[in-house]
Amino acid sequence: MAQTYPKGSNALSTLVWGVVAIGIGVYRLAGPHTPLTDLGKIFGIGCIVSGALLVLSSLLLSRLKKKISAAAQRMSQLNTALYGGTHEREMVGPGAISTAGLDRAFYEQATAALEALGFVRQGDYVNLTLRRAMPNTHAVIRALIGDEGRVICAVYHALHKAGTRRVDSRVVEFETELSSGEFITTSNSALAGKTSEFIGISRRHLPVATSPAELLAAHRQHVDEVLTAKPGVSAVAIHDLSELLASQDRLQMVKVRFRNSAAFDPAAEIRKVAGKPLNEAQAEYAAEAARLHAERVANHVPPPPTA
């Protein structure tokens, strides 16, 4: 059964009423009046006990509100770090995968399957912006180009460890940039499927066990469907690593604009990630996250349009 918390969350008024109740109880038991009846004594003791419970409740409620506020602040700070602009990257050698404790066999098997489909490996890199913002998350991204440059592919094993928590994702993602500045992505990332949709990005998420060949077939169909609905728009050809990274920067800026706009609803994203109705504490967290986001939007200077 989900734990519930007092509605209104007014810790100060709860504290005041608790102190008042204790005062009434003490006065009834020790004040200058005629000897108390047994009922009067019970009333006085009841006031003290009830007041003590209210004071304790107010203190616990105050601690809870501080924790909720701190958690919402951390979420806002993470959003700022990840969606404040383009990301910094560092090219790495093949040894970086093992050094980070990632699944080398996954990289090699996925790469072999993609090369059999005509993709050409461009190199491996680490997202330094992500690593600074989330130091407990480790990932090496392998970039490939295929379909005559109309499709780029990212292969990565993302490993997040914090205490006893461990999130382990092995992802193959295909991306196509359009001449309209929009993007099409198809992946097997279950975690990405729980986040908010981005305006300007058509995303599809298939089951984790989907093979690279099945993902590519689904991506090609995805691209065909989007282009059919957009006469005059075509896929942008990417020829080498520098063009691939530039395309990634443009994709990132599409995300930045959305995440720093009023269109992004962090409370809705929290509900989507939870996958079930929020309890009262979670609902307060979502509301505080939405309030902080509204402040960020009001103070945010929009980035210039992508060239």
Can you spell out the DSSP letters for 98-152?
HHTT--HHHHHHHHHHHHHTT-EEEEEEEEHHHHHH-TTEEEEEEEEEEGGGTEE
pLDDT: which is higher, 278 or 200:
200
Single-letter amino acid code for the residue at 242 = S
Is 57 within 8 Å of 18 (Cβ atoms)?
yes
pLDDT at 71: 74
**CB atoms closer than 10 angstroms to residue 71:** 16
Hey, which of 70-74, 82-86, 212-216, 294-298 has the most confident mean pLDDT? Answer: 212-216
**Segment among 12-16, 81-85, 219-223 with least mean pLDDT:** 12-16
pLDDT at 301: 57
pLDDT at 16: 45
**CB atoms closer than 10 angstroms to residue 174:** 26
pLDDT bracket for residue 6 (50, 70, 90)? very low
Give the CB-side neighbour count of residue 25, counting CA atoms within 13 A: 17
Is 41 within 8 Å of 29 (Cβ atoms)?
yes
**Residues 274-291 pLDDT 10s:** 788 888 878 888 888 888
Give the CB-side neighbour count of residue 281, counting CA atoms within 13 A: 15
pLDDT at 283: 83
Residues 6+ positions from 102 with CB-CB distance below 8 Å: 138, 139, 140, 157, 159
The angle formed by the CA atoms of residues 170, 122 and 251, to the nearest 5 degrees, is 70
Residues 6+ positions from 253 with CB-CB distance below 8 Å: 85, 86, 303, 306
Single-letter amino acid code for the residue at 256 = V
Is 283 within 8 Å of 271 (Cβ atoms)?
no
Burial code of 82-117, b = ≥16 C-beta within 10 A, e = fewer? bbeebbebeebeeebbeeeebeeebbeebbebbeeb
The pLDDT of 232-260, averaged and rounded, is 96
Q: Please give the mean pLDDT across all residues of the chain.
A: 81
- Indicate whether 5 pLDDT > 60: no
**Residues 108-160 pLDDT 10s:** 999 999 999 999 999 999 999 999 988 888 999 999 999 999 999 999 999 98
Rounded alpha-carbon distances, angstroms, from residue 112 to 5, 11, 91, 155:
53, 60, 21, 11
Whole-number Å distance between alpha carbons of 218 and 204: 9
Whole-number Å distance between alpha carbons of 129 and 82: 7
Whole-number Å distance between alpha carbons of 36 and 228: 87
pLDDT at 83: 87
Within the chain, residue ranges assigned H as helices are: 11-30, 38-82, 95-99, 104-116, 128-133, 212-228, 241-259, 266-274, 280-299
- Indicate whether 208 pLDDT > 60: yes
**Residue ranges per structural domain of the chain:** 85-259
Is 245 within 8 Å of 89 (Cβ atoms)?
yes
- Indicate whether 267 pLDDT > 70: yes
Residues 6+ positions from 36 with CB-CB distance below 8 Å: 28, 29, 44
**Segment among 52-56, 103-107, 222-226, 272-276 with least mean pLDDT:** 52-56
